[in-house]
Structure 1
Amino acid sequence: MKTILVATDFSERSDRALRRATLLARQTGAALTLVHAVDDDQPARLVAAARDAAILQLRDQGATLRDVDGLACETRVTLGAPFEATLRTADEMRPDLLVIGPHRRQALWDVFVGTTAERIIRASRVPVLMVNAPPLVAYRHALFATDLSEGSRQALETLLGLGLIEAVRLSIYHAYHAPALRLAMGHTLGKEGREDYLKEAEKDAARRLADFLGGLDVGRASRVVRLETSTAAAEIVAAAKELAADLVVVSTSGRTGLAKAVLGSVAEEVLRTADRDILAVPPRGAE
């Protein structure tokens, strides 16, 4: 990983993102760029004042990162709505990673449009790390959630290429379905029949996960297959807590229709409910 873009609005949430980005830059040797968006939907004199203040504040932060932390750091101030300006900067720079703070709910606006963080993640063409937890230490355990789709495989390839998890324990998680138990025939299986059916379903899921990972160098990654008994997002969040993963990785492109699993509504629910960091990875060539 060579470049990390950090979006900041100078809030405590953004400071959390900056601290995590600093840890990652030290770990990977990446250069940092800090970007702040000034809303230009206001009188010109206010825009100019906000821009000048932001330039000075970013200059101080950049100097600290260079002089104290010994990191390469640049700063940018751009005009526009936060999510639009951040995405525009990411499109221009094409960093390896975009780091943002946790979303901040804004009542009914988010119900219809989504938070700034969600809108950035939904539209970004580069991986986006949303920092939810206090960044006290380097990541120790990453949980990669997959629906076995091609988009998910591309996301895993991107994750492996970023260098974020070289010294991190990796668990690859897949939730499988047992459709017969939900149909009328589920009542006729009996206890032993149900157990046999679930064992075969688990074995089949493990085989499909092995096929999915074929040709990928995942090292000693743990492979976790579990029966999905609630929503996909709830299962992912629960698995992350149970396995003590401090980073959850999801693809922003999954299967469609009844087999859809990892972004769309699922990943957005994970983003809204998880209490740990989320790395959302778009498919290659995403527009």
Structure 2
Amino acid sequence: MTRTVLFATDLSADNRAAFARALRLAYFDGAQLDIVHVLDPYLPHRVLHEVEAAVVDDIAATLKDIREDYALDEPKTLIQTVTGSPYVEIVREAHERQADLVVVGMHRKRGQKDLLMGTTSMRIVRSAPCPVVIASQPPTQPWRSILVPVDFSLTARHSLREALQRFPDASLTLLHAWTLPGERELGSHPYYAQWRDHEVAQVRERLAQEVDSLMTELAGVPDVELVLEHGLPGDVLNAYIKRQTPDLVVLGNRDQPHHVSQLTDMLLCEPHCDVMLCRG
């Protein structure tokens, strides 16, 4: 079965980076690129066909421009319009096409957290049957530096597996945030530092074993770097992204269906890089 990358476009200029990223991903993965635009279902029937033709022409022209701008070859491509609620139709299309990946754009002003949860992109993230890429950075090259936040959960293991399988040529950094009980009360005790170092070493060993056991199941995966930093997960992740500027963060969503985690909320509220969300 041919792999499919589904790109959902709203025809805006802000969507251009995501369009180019979807094109690059489809071509280098040998996948078909399905480009979908959702039309207003309340358009007058007599003008619907004219609007559909105009949209398809606009997408085709944008596709040609992006290929020329980024010197990208064109994969097998299908351009289609559907009518309905944008996020409902995009999720439905992802199911029906058995998409391997959905790519959407992020074009919201930074820091507007209250508006984030109602966007089409976030609704797709909550319900899509496959990983979703929220792309906001110009795709001048393949993702080379990929950050994967990890802990001991099955969700983190699944996200790491996705990253290892999808990006075998990238440099992967696994980031784990740690805290220990009693730091405020016992931090100055002479034996606390020794106990803390022992506990952190134990955490590192457990994580290394988790990674090693997963990598033995996969062939041709890249080497990974394991980084442990002190602090709460959100604070550690945010600081690391600003300091190291990875190309992509691969994150799992361990919450209930139709919801997103606090880390996801934080990443997309201040998008410093592209993000791929994997269903747990």
- Range 31-40 or range 64-73, more displaced: 64-73
Which residue matches 1:278? Answer: 275
Q: Which runs of 5+ in 2 are unaligned?
A: 216-220
Which residue matches 1:32? Answer: 33
Superposed displacement of residue 113, structure 1: 4.6
Which residue matches 1:265? Answer: 262
Which residue matches 1:148? Answer: 152
* Residue 224 (structure 1) aligned with residue 227 (structure 2): yes
Which structure 2 residues correspond to residues 1-287 of structure 1 after superposition, within 5 A? 2-45=3-46, 47-61=48-62, 69-104=73-108, 110-111=114-115, 113-162=117-166, 165-181=167-183, 186-190=184-188, 192-217=190-215, 219-228=222-231, 230=232, 232-253=233-254, 264-283=261-280
Percent identity reads 26
SS of equivalent to 1:94? coil
Call closer, same or farther: CA 1:281–1:197 in 2, change over 3 Å: same
Call closer, same or farther: CA 1:110–1:15 in 2, change over 3 Å: same
- Range 186-195 or range 243-252, more displaced: 186-195
Superposed displacement of residue 114, structure 1: 2.4
Call closer, same or farther: CA 1:176–1:42 in 2, change over 3 Å: same
Amino acid at match of 1:215: S
Amino acid at match of 1:178: L
With the length of structure 1 as denominator, give the TM-score of the two structures.
0.82
SS of equivalent to 2:191? helix
Q: Which runs of 5+ in 1 are unaligned?
A: 256-262
* Contact preservation (8 Å) 1:32, 1:74: yes
Aligned equivalents of 2:67, 2:79: Cα separation in 1? 11
Superposed displacement of residue 101, structure 1: 0.6
* Contact preservation (8 Å) 2:136, 2:274: yes
With the length of structure 2 as denominator, give the TM-score of the two structures.
0.84
Call closer, same or farther: CA 1:215–1:9 in 2, change over 3 Å: same
SS of equivalent to 1:190? coil
Superposed displacement of residue 30, structure 1: 2.0
Instruction: Tell me how large the CA RMSD over aligned residues is.
Output: 2.9
Aligned residue pairs total 268
Amino acid at match of 2:205: R
Superposed displacement of residue 250, structure 1: 0.2
Aligned equivalents of 2:164, 2:103: Cα separation in 1? 18
